[in-house]
Amino acid sequence: MNTALIDRYKSLGIEDVIDHEKFNHISIVHHSTVLEGSTLTEVETEVLLNEGLTPKGKPLLHTLMVKDHYTALRFVLNEAKKRRPVSEEFIREIGAAVLKNTGSVYHTVLGNVDSSKGEYRKGNVRAGDTYFPNYDEVPSLVQELVLALGRKMSTEISLDEKINLSFDAHFNLVSIHPFYDGNGRSSRLLMNYIQAYYGLPLAIVRQESKVDYIQALLDARAGNNINIFRKFMSDEYEAMLSLEIEKFENMNRHQKGKGFGFTLLF
């Protein structure tokens, strides 16, 4: 990971620009929900979250998905400010927030599972050719992840290690697949939580990278090689930081060179 990009990003004061945080959060929500099937554009997402106006002709489910994700993002960022340790309860709270208004009740032979409450699945699941761990292994696997994150986050680690820790948490949670739904969103939010915990810019998996994202997950699992996923996420992260730096510097050049002026219509 090119950590100099993070230093450059921070030195420019991009995060101090009025409304940057809000627009950054809207972008995270937009891309993350589109990865899961939302049809709202970024403008529609912005209008929905800023003004409460729902887009015409779009499924209500997608509107609720976006609103839930935004609430969940604000929740994890607020918990990061409190320096809340990662726990099994916290992960379940993230899952519940993501599906607050879109979760379903699953009826299984082992009992009902309400996904809107962050309850773990009670059945085995697959996606494409991927079979996820057996449902009865989920609690212990989540606990292992929590303990591993706790050990790392209780010690002094380098900037690179902090970045990789956020990527690793993302990969491991989505690979455990603890819930019937919302696993991708929950895992990306856990990644953002760790980044916010360490005061790092928040990563986005762009909608246009969806195929490469899924392939990186598959290849990392097949080869038992986390570095494959780290490389993908690092490339995404650097692309996002570079774009933000370029936009900020272009804006500054424009303002210094020309100032602001209206285009006359008469």
pLDDT per residue as tens digits for the range 23-32: 789 899 999 9
Other Cβ atoms closer than 10 A to 78: 12
Residue for token pair 């949670």: 173
Quick check: is 35 in a domain? no
Residue for token pair 């991009």: 14
Q: Is there a binding annotation on residue 185? A: yes
Q: What per-residue confidence (pLDDT) applies to 23?
A: 75
CATH (domain of 203): 1.10.3290.10
Quick check: is 187 in a domain? yes
Q: What per-residue confidence (pLDDT) applies to 3?
A: 82
Q: What per-residue confidence (pLDDT) applies to 253?
A: 66
In what helix (H) or strand (E) does residue 16 lie, and over which residues does it extend? none
Task: Report the percentage of the chain scoring pLDDT > 90.
Answer: 74
Q: Is there a binding annotation on residue 188? A: yes
Number of domains in the chain: 1
Q: Is there a binding annotation on residue 187? A: yes
Query: Domain range holding 235?
Result: 3-12+85-247
The per-residue pLDDT of the chain, averaged, comes to 90
Quick check: is 53 in a domain? no
C-alpha radius of gyration, the chain, whole number: 20
Cα separations in angstroms, 211 against 22, 185, 205, 207, 215: 27, 16, 11, 9, 6
- Structure tokens belonging to residue 168: 């690793």
Catalytic positions, written as ranges: 177
Residues of the chain with pLDDT under 50: 18, 262, 266
Per-residue pLDDT reduced to its tens digit, 227-262: 999 999 999 999 999 988 887 777 666 556 555 554
Q: What per-residue confidence (pLDDT) applies to 266?
A: 47
Quick check: is 206 in a domain? yes
Quick check: is 50 in a domain? no
Q: What per-residue confidence (pLDDT) applies to 107?
A: 94
